[in-house]
């Protein structure tokens, strides 16, 4: 299996300057590292300066590439504008935006305060809009082309999901933005796509979505037909492809990477995976017998 290896050619992202929101931890950090090995220069941004500075230092040492840490709360447009301006000052131009920052936690919706709901919408939906708008305005005004936005979505963007309703609501909005702007901004040379990951273990997600014994009681892996979680490199390979010139004709799509998880949940009869062959022999006889009735 080659799924744990980097997929793109060395230099595939050379001379590409990339902003990753929420790039100090989890999947954002993994993507930043892989993109640096492919020659990209990175800006990672989030609220915690100490975290992004430590990550930038670590990734520069590991890859020999360039990574700048710029603090920014994506909820606030003025902070996003300031971050983007500093990024352009440092690198001359930005080519790629990855809207990866997110907030999420499990809770029955009726237990949420209005502010709890709002805080997730503000990070996920408004944060993605703020970054896309701030950069898009600059790209369009300067007539810069070959720009890419990649949005981190989820499979429940289109199915919805109980117990993470603010996140589902916000991610659905992000998907609508992806598809809408893919059409509207294509004429400016801006492509926009999304990734819908299934379970990819990260501390940020697991602490908030599988706390205590929930990880065992509600084992997410059992819901995945391939019976495993995703590997970060698998997602990094997909993301690198979608932001690279190799995917130049892919625009407005959302690519699912979940081992078949959401389809298993959706399929009416997908629950028969554990039925043994002996049991199927019996079942077959019963079903065939039904013909004569
Ligand atoms: C109910 C809660 C709560 C909880 C917080 N709140 N946690 N309400 N149950 N467990 C309420 C607070 O009381 C407050 O409302 C409001 O939410 C905002 O909380 P703050 O702590 O003030 O906000 P903030 O510091 O901005 O933190 C945001 C956060 C936090 C989302 C609550 O968890 C965070 O910083 N998350 C960032 C990382 C993250 O979430 N990563 C997971 C991504 S996984 P009141 O009314 O009291 O003011 C993902 C998809 C995974 O997105 C899919 C997997 C398959
Ligand atoms: P993570 O490590 O918790 O990453 C989330 C990041 O967002 C953190 O670095 C956090 O940093 C940043 N962030 C939160 N609020 C912010 C704000 N207001 N402004 C700027 N940055 C902010 O989680 P992850 O698992 O890697 O998730 C990454 C992305 O993948 C998310 O979009 C998530 O929805 C998506 N996803 C993940 C999974 C999975 O299984 N892991 C599945 C589906 C989708 P600060 O706290 O320092 O701000």
Contact of 19 with 45, CB cutoff 8 Å: yes
Among 112, 115, 159, 257, name the best residue to mutate to test ligand 1's pocket (greatest count of ligand atoms within 8 A of Cβ). Answer: 115
For CA atoms 66, 200, 150, 77, the dihedral sign is negative
Query: Does the structure show a pLDDT above 90 at 59?
Result: yes
Residue of 173, 138, 142 whose CA lies nearest to 158 = 173
Please enumerate in sequence order all residues whose Cβ is within 8 A of that of 61, keeping only pairs 6 or more positions apart, or say none.
none
Distance 104 CA to ligand 1 centre (A): 5
Domains of the chain by residue range: 2-292
Helix (H) or strand (E) holding 151: strand 147-152
CATH of 2-292, one of 3.40.50.300, 1.10.3720.10, 3.40.50.720, 3.55.40.10: 3.40.50.720
Q: Which of 19, 59, 102, 149 to mutate to test the pocket of ligand 2 (most atoms within 8 A of CB)?
A: 102
Does pLDDT of 283 surpass 60? yes
Tokens of 293: 């009735």
Find the 210 Cα to ligand 1 centroid distance in Å.
14
122 pLDDT higher than 90: yes
Residue range 69-95: mean pLDDT, rounded: 98
Active-site positions read 156
273 — pLDDT class (breaks 50, 70, 90): confident
Take atom 39 of ligand 2 and give the residue whose Cα is closest: 200
Q: Residue 260: which pLDDT band, with cuts at 50, 70 and 90?
A: very high
Give the atom of ligand 2 at the shortest distance from the alpha carbon of 104.
Answer: 34
How does DSSP assign 57-98, residue by residue?
HHHHHHHS--EEE----TT-HHHHHHHHHHHHHHHS---EEE
Average pLDDT value for residue range 125-149: 98
Instruction: Please classify residue 177 by burial: count the beta carbons closer than 10 Å to its beta carbon, then call 0-12 exposed, 13-18 middle and 19+ buried.
Output: buried
Report DSSP letters for 193-241, one per residue: EEEEE-----HHHHHHHSTTTHHHHT-GGGG-TT-SPPPHHHHHHHHHH
73 alpha carbon, closest ligand: 2
Ligand 2 pocket at CB < 6 A: 21-22, 24-28, 46-48, 51, 73-75, 100-103, 123, 127, 152, 154, 197, 199-200, 202, 204-205
Q: How confident is the model at residue 292 (pLDDT cuts 50, 70, 90)?
A: low
CA distance 167 to 123: 10
- Residue 173 has a CB neighbour count (10 Å cut-off) of 17
Residue 293 — pLDDT band, cuts 50, 70, 90? low
- Distance from the CA of 153 to the center of ligand 2, in angstroms? 11
Answer whether residue 291 shows pLDDT above 80.
no
CA 114 to ligand 1: nearest atom: 46
> For position 47, what pLDDT does the model report?
98
Q: What is the pLDDT of residue 159?
A: 97
| Pocket around ligand 1 at a 6 A CB cut-off | 102-105, 107, 111-113, 115-116, 119-120, 154, 167, 199, 204-205, 208-209
Residue of 65, 67, 26 lying closest to 44 (CA atoms)? 67
Look at the block and give the residue holding tokens 């504008």: 81
At a CB cut-off of 8 Å and minimum separation 6, what does 97 contact? 18, 19, 21, 131, 132, 135, 148, 149, 150
Distant-in-sequence contacts of 137-143, Cβ < 8 A, 24+ apart: 138/84, 138/88, 138/94, 139/188, 139/189, 139/190, 140/185, 140/188, 140/190, 143/188
Mean pLDDT of 124-136: 98
8 contacts 237 by C-beta, under 8 angstroms: yes
**Residue 147: closest CA among 235, 243, 237:** 243
Give the number of other Cβ atoms within 10 Å of residue 121's Cβ. 17
Q: Which ligand has its closest atom nearest to the C-alpha of 220?
A: 1
Query: Residue with the nearest Cα to atom 28 of ligand 1?
Result: 103
**Is the pLDDT score of 79 beyond 60?**
yes
Band (197; pLDDT cuts 50, 70, 90): very high
> What value does the mean pLDDT of the chain take?
97
Rounded average pLDDT over 109-128: 98
- pLDDT (average), residues 140-157: 98
- Percent pLDDT > 70 in the chain is 99
Mean pLDDT value across residues 153-157:
97
Query: Looking at the predicted structure, is the pLDDT value of residue 31 above 80?
Result: yes
- 57: pLDDT strictly greater than 70: yes
How far apart CA 39 and CA 135 sit, in angstroms, is: 22
Rounded to whole angstroms, the Cα distance separating 226 from 222 reads: 9
């Amino acid at each position: 299996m080659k799924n744990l290896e980097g997929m793109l050619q060395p230099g595939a992202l050379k001379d590409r300057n990339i902003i990753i929101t929420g790039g100090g931890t989890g999947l954002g950090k993994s993507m930043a590292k892989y993109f640096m090995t492919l020659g990209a220069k990175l800006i990672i941004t989030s609220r915690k300066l100490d975290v992004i500075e430590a990550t930038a230092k670590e990734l520069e040492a590991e890859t020999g590439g360039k990574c700048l840490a710029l603090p920014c709360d994506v909820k606030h447009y003025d902070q996003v504008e300031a971050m983007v301006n500093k990024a352009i000052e440092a690198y001359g131009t930005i080519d790629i935006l990855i809207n990866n920052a997110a907030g999420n936690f499990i809770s029955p919706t009726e237990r949420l305060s209005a502010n709890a709901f709002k805080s997730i919408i503000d990070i996920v939906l408004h944060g993605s809009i703020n970054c896309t708008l701030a950069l898009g305005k600059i790209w369009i005004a300067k007539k810069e082309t070959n720009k890419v936005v990649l949005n981190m979505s989820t499979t429940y963007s289109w199915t919805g999901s109980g117990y993470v309703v603010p996140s589902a609501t916000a991610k659905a909005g992000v998907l609508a933005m992806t598809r809408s702007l893919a059409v509207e901004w294509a004429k400016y040379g801006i492509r926009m796509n999304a990734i819908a990951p299934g379970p990819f273990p990260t501390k940020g997600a697991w602490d908030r979505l599988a706390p205590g014994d929930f990880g065992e009681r509600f084992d997410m892996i059992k819901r995945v037909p391939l019976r495993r979680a995703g590997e970060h490199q698998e997602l990094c390979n997909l993301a690198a492809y979608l932001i690279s010139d190799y995917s130049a004709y892919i625009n407005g799509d959302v690519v699912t990477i979940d081992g078949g998880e959401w389809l298993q949940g959706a399929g009416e009869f997908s629950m028969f995976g554990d039925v043994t062959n002996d049991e199927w022999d019996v079942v077959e006889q019963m079903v065939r017998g039904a013909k004569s009735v």
